[in-house]
Amino acid sequence: MEHEPNHVGLIPDGLRRWATAHDTTLADAYRRGAHKVVDILQNLRGHGVRTVTVYNLSRANLGRTEGELDAVYQASLQFLTTLIPAAFDAATCSFRLHGDRKTLPDNYVAAASDLEVAMTGTEFRINLLAAYDAYDELRDAQRRAEQTGSDIASAFEIDDVDLVIRTTAEPLLSGFLPLQSQYAQLYFLTTPLNDLTMDDIDELIARYRGVPQLRGR
């Protein structure tokens, strides 16, 4: 029986290699990547996906060079301040930043906070992971569970993921939502993010539909 993914994880990767292969700057590669991520978000919403979690930066990524981080941050600011507001209706969509905000630039956090306030819909949710670390998420969930007297499994703010797409052939999650992804279908692509077409995304969704969702049963 065919079924749709409710929650898709997107790990946009390979942009440094794409910049080198196309003899362009990191800033250009990441800027193009931000536009491509928006295209993918819109495509997934058209397939009935209710939540997409995008891996922008892990905590470990913060150790990269200043030049590379600047390129990421500039593209991310355009994503947050221009691309997302233009592509998604704030009355029907929501946005949430997950990660250690204290380690991110002030203008990045401010732009994300503005989106969180402005976007109040329930039809489609965008999660952005930045300065994210799974151990931090686990500790935060434990604190919430202790405060509310609930089970820790119900204290996580991000639900289980059905499908994870990474735009690199290396079969690694790199710390992406390890607990929520334990039964997800994992697709590692040889096509770089900036070269993906929406036909590629359509094909992945079709492949997902054809695989039984046993979840250990």
- Residue of 62, 59, 88, 85 whose CA lies nearest to 73: 62
Looking up residue 66, the CATH number of its domain turns out to be 3.40.1180.10
pLDDT at 7: 98
Q: What pLDDT is stored for residue 1 in this prediction?
A: 47
pLDDT at 3: 79
Residue 146 lies in a domain: yes
- State pLDDT tens for residues 27-75: 999 999 999 999 999 999 999 999 999 999 999 999 999 999 999 999 9
Confidence of residue 4 (pLDDT cuts 50, 70, 90): confident
Query: What is the tens place of the pLDDT at every residue in 108-142?
Result: 999 999 999 999 999 999 999 999 999 999 999 99
| Residue 2, domain member (yes or no) | no
pLDDT digits (tens, 9 = 90+) for 95-108: 999 999 999 999 99
How much is the mean pLDDT over the chain? 94
Indicate whether 70 belongs to any domain. Answer: yes
In a domain, 217, yes or no: no
Q: Is residue 120, in this structure, part of any structural domain at all?
A: yes
Asked if residue 216 is part of any domain, the answer here is no
Question: How far apart are the C-alpha atoms of 182 and 213, rounded to whole Å?
Answer: 12
Between CA 174 and CA 164 the distance in angstroms is 12
**pTM for the model:** 0.95
Q: Which H helix or E strand runs over 164?
A: strand 163-166
* Residue 214 domain flag: no
Task: State residue 210's pLDDT score.
Answer: 85
- Residue 114: give the domain boundaries: 7-209
Domain assignment present for 202: yes
Looking at the structure of the chain, the number of domains it has is 1
Using the CB atoms, write b or e for 178-203: b if 16+ within 10 Å.
eebbeebbbebbeebbbbbeeeebee
Query: What local confidence, expressed as pLDDT, does residue 2 receive?
Result: 59
